A = this chain, B = another copy of it.
């Protein structure tokens, strides 16, 4: 498959290698006939079938900005699975985009070493009142003053309507139109690099969202060999998997090469099921390495994994998957239980300060013990992996939003406890991550929200959310995930920063971040040199 991937330019989808000519490559291995309908033109133009299920065309009749759809077998009309723009939403036609026209001004930008990353996770739609990339840009000076040097943007792949965390994306290549689309994202990244801020993009390769997902009409993107929390798994090793593997690899390369993204955060890779001799993440690593060798730019691959399996972050030379780093939820769980969180749900596996001490030293808390929550011996020891391979946090979008009432730490714990948790993150020998608003103690929740347009789906999500929390027996209602009000409440209240208590917390975070960068003992992520002693009787942890 990889012989079809060209790291120096995207080959899948619609591209414009020369000004007046569009190159079209579509994977539709089971189709008998494929044509492209360009809006405003009279007749659909047939594509020519080539090897391995690809259909191709070079034409002067499709120009950047034009709307188009594909017509399969003469009558089925769908948007492009590799569409870069869906200006009328997930059900509308695709729009041709030439990513090459953007004038980049970040030639001097150098992606920092991974161990110096200080991550700030944000959701474009709720970070500002406007909910756009443009509005986000206006906050870059604020972030710069805070001291973080990398923003991690929750997924921007086009999803149904305008309100979504981003994990329901159905156009992996299209940037959400309501955020500002492809050009808006390029502009933001250019501005970030100008300010000295790296950009991490959260991407979802383990499932597609439930509404507006037409990829299945084009080919076997899914397989029923494996079951995931979202149903059928993305097809990485079953019949016709190569088209899907290429779809993912070209997508990752596109973000790095055409959008200057510095790192990808791959969502829930434990739900990527692949028994091929070469795992899709190994193949991705190889392709990204090729790209880096060509461009001289550095890019990182960071995974969300709940498997405590160092195979994901071990180098290819040791038959690992070669990922640069992984999220470490267990540090969060141990920290939260240490601070007083009730041991319910996934917290039930954690006992407090002793587990936190282990997280500081061994990264994985579970490295072979029996987990009462998972009902099995869980995890493996991460022997040789340096601190920069682990991302830690006291909050993130999931840990807040997957609570029934979406409470942030500042709503749950005392002011002093919140400060203590922030300190615990910044003195760790791992890469710290903040969640937007954490630094001033935002008092509003970050709810789970969506805005599907199909009535049955709307009801199913509402019902599912209620059932999920039915056992909690709390008087308060689960906020309606489909309502605009829920979404509005999730937006940050920037005016809180006018109040002294919030200002003090912000200055505390600024100071912590500055110390982290200035003190060699904190800046160098040498987890082997860290001495950790837990005094469980006094609930005290000593690090030095």
Tell me the A residues contacting B by CB distance below 8 Å: 1, 29, 52, 224-227, 237-242, 270, 273, 275-278, 307-311, 318-319, 370, 374-377, 379-380
Can you give 26 A-B contacts (C-beta < 8 A)? Answer: A52-B370, A224-B227, A225-B226, A225-B227, A226-B226, A226-B273, A227-B227, A237-B376, A239-B374, A239-B375, A239-B376, A240-B375, A240-B376, A241-B376, A242-B370, A242-B377, A275-B307, A277-B307, A277-B308, A277-B309, A277-B311, A277-B379, A277-B380, A278-B380, A311-B319, A318-B319
Q: From residue A141, how far is it (CB to closest CB) to chain B in Å?
A: 44
Q: From residue A177, how far is it (CB to closest CB) to chain B in Å?
A: 34
Q: What separation, in Å, do the CA atoms of A318 and B273 have in the docked complex?
A: 22
Q: From residue A475, how far is it (CB to closest CB) to chain B in Å?
A: 32
Give every chain B residue within 8 A of A1 (Cβ-Cβ).
377
In this complex, which of A29, A224, A226, A375 has the most chain B Cβ atoms within 10 angstroms of its Cβ?
A375
Give every chain B residue within 8 A of A237 (Cβ-Cβ).
376
Q: Are A375 and B29 interface neighbours, CB within 8 A?
A: yes
Q: From residue A304, how far is it (CB to closest CB) to chain B in Å?
A: 16
Report the nearest B residue to A314, measured CB to CB: B319
Q: From residue A346, how far is it (CB to closest CB) to chain B in Å?
A: 13
| Contacts known (A242-B377, A375-B239); A277 close to B310, Cβ less than 8 A | yes
A-B pairs, 7 with minimum CB distance: A277-B380, A239-B375, A319-B319, A277-B309, A240-B375, A241-B376, A242-B377
Q: From residue A135, how far is it (CB to closest CB) to chain B in Å?
A: 41
Report the nearest B residue to A240, measured CB to CB: B375
Give every chain B residue within 8 A of A270 (Cβ-Cβ).
275
Q: What separation, in Å, do the CA atoms of A375 and B52 have in the docked complex?
A: 8
In this complex, which of A277, A374, A379 has the most chain B Cβ atoms within 10 angstroms of its Cβ?
A277
Give every chain B residue within 8 A of A308 (Cβ-Cβ).
277
Q: Are A242 and B376 interface neighbours, CB within 8 A?
A: yes
Q: What separation, in Å, do the CA atoms of A406 and B319 have in the docked complex?
A: 42
Q: From residue A152, how far is it (CB to closest CB) to chain B in Å?
A: 26
Q: From residue A250, how far is it (CB to closest CB) to chain B in Å?
A: 16
Known pairs A270-B275, A273-B275. 16 more at Cβ < 8 A?
A1-B377, A52-B370, A224-B227, A226-B227, A227-B227, A237-B376, A239-B374, A239-B375, A239-B376, A242-B370, A275-B307, A277-B307, A277-B308, A277-B310, A277-B379, A311-B319
Q: What separation, in Å, do the CA atoms of A370 and B245 have in the docked complex?
A: 14
Q: What separation, in Å, do the CA atoms of A137 and B310 have in the docked complex?
A: 50
Q: From residue A486, how far is it (CB to closest CB) to chain B in Å?
A: 32
Q: What separation, in Å, do the CA atoms of A240 and B375 have in the docked complex?
A: 5
Give every chain B residue within 8 A of A310 (Cβ-Cβ).
277
Give every chain B residue within 8 A of A278 (Cβ-Cβ).
380
Q: From residue A86, how far is it (CB to closest CB) to chain B in Å?
A: 29
Give every chain B residue within 8 A of A226 (Cβ-Cβ).
225-227, 273
Report the nearest B residue to A2, measured CB to CB: B377
Q: From residue A8, how far is it (CB to closest CB) to chain B in Å?
A: 22
Q: From residue A431, how far is it (CB to closest CB) to chain B in Å?
A: 22
Give every chain B residue within 8 A of A225 (Cβ-Cβ).
226-227
Q: What separation, in Å, do the CA atoms of A1 and B375 have in the docked complex?
A: 12
Give every chain B residue within 8 A of A377 (Cβ-Cβ).
1, 242
Q: From residue A405, how far is it (CB to closest CB) to chain B in Å?
A: 28
Give every chain B residue within 8 A of A309 (Cβ-Cβ).
276-277
Q: What separation, in Å, do the CA atoms of A374 and B307 have in the docked complex?
A: 30
Q: From residue A513, how far is it (CB to closest CB) to chain B in Å?
A: 34
Give every chain B residue within 8 A of A239 (Cβ-Cβ).
374-376
Q: From residue A437, how far is it (CB to closest CB) to chain B in Å?
A: 36
Give every chain B residue within 8 A of A318 (Cβ-Cβ).
319
Q: From residue A497, how far is it (CB to closest CB) to chain B in Å?
A: 45
Q: What separation, in Å, do the CA atoms of A78 and B29 have in the docked complex?
A: 50
Q: From residue A232, how far is it (CB to closest CB) to chain B in Å?
A: 10
Q: What separation, in Å, do the CA atoms of A225 and B233 have in the docked complex?
A: 10
Q: What separation, in Å, do the CA atoms of A270 and B226 have in the docked complex?
A: 14
Q: What separation, in Å, do the CA atoms of A29 and B311 have in the docked complex?
A: 30
Q: What separation, in Å, do the CA atoms of A225 and B226 have in the docked complex?
A: 6
Give every chain B residue within 8 A of A224 (Cβ-Cβ).
227
Q: From residue A415, how far is it (CB to closest CB) to chain B in Å?
A: 39
Give every chain B residue within 8 A of A276 (Cβ-Cβ).
309
In this complex, which of A1, A377, A380 has the most chain B Cβ atoms within 10 angstroms of its Cβ?
A377
Q: What separation, in Å, do the CA atoms of A273 and B377 have in the docked complex?
A: 17
Q: What separation, in Å, do the CA atoms of A239 and B376 have in the docked complex?
A: 6
Q: What separation, in Å, do the CA atoms of A276 and B378 have in the docked complex?
A: 9
Q: What separation, in Å, do the CA atoms of A52 and B376 have in the docked complex?
A: 9
Report the nearest B residue to A237, measured CB to CB: B376
Report the nearest B residue to A52, measured CB to CB: B370
Report the nearest B residue to A235, measured CB to CB: B376
Report the nearest B residue to A244, measured CB to CB: B376
